[in-house]
Structure 1
Amino acid sequence: MSGSTKSTKAMGVLTVTALVVVSAYTAALGSNGWLWFGWVVLGLVTIGMATSRST
């Protein structure tokens, strides 16, 4: 497994973990737009890494 594949997989795990944390925060304390915005940006970066790796 190359370093690029490892980093993309790590970003995927981080993105999913962040989604769980943001969802738990929203359920417990109410929605925070900045947290969701941050998660969307993280997701887009992860998708970008995954697509650039495959080309």
Structure 2
Amino acid sequence: MPGSGSTDSSTRTMGVLTVGGLVAVTAYTVALGSNGWLWFGWVVLGLITLGMVATRST
């Protein structure tokens, strides 16, 4: 498949951002208390990442 390398790269980048976002939101929650908007944003980011992974594997 032509162009699959860039798709793999962008999917990997999204995965790294998602994991980094989870670490950041968790650290914020521990330090300053829970913020529902931050968790909502992380869930949306996670769903986008899962969507990218699902479309890449088909």
Same fold (TM over 0.5): yes
Report the secondary structure of 1:31's partner residue.
Answer: coil
**Identity among equivalent pairs (%):** 67
Q: What TM-score, normalized by structure 1, do the two folds share? A: 0.98
Q: What TM-score, normalized by structure 2, do the two folds share? A: 0.93
RMSD of aligned Cα (Å) = 0.9
Which is greater in Rg? 2
Which blocks of at least 5 consecutive residues in structure 1 are unaligned?
none
Aligned residues: 55
The answer to whether structure 1 residue 7 and structure 2 residue 10 are counterparts is yes
Which blocks of at least 5 consecutive residues in structure 2 are unaligned?
none
Report the secondary structure of 2:37's partner residue.
Answer: helix
The answer to whether structure 1 residue 20 and structure 2 residue 1 are counterparts is no
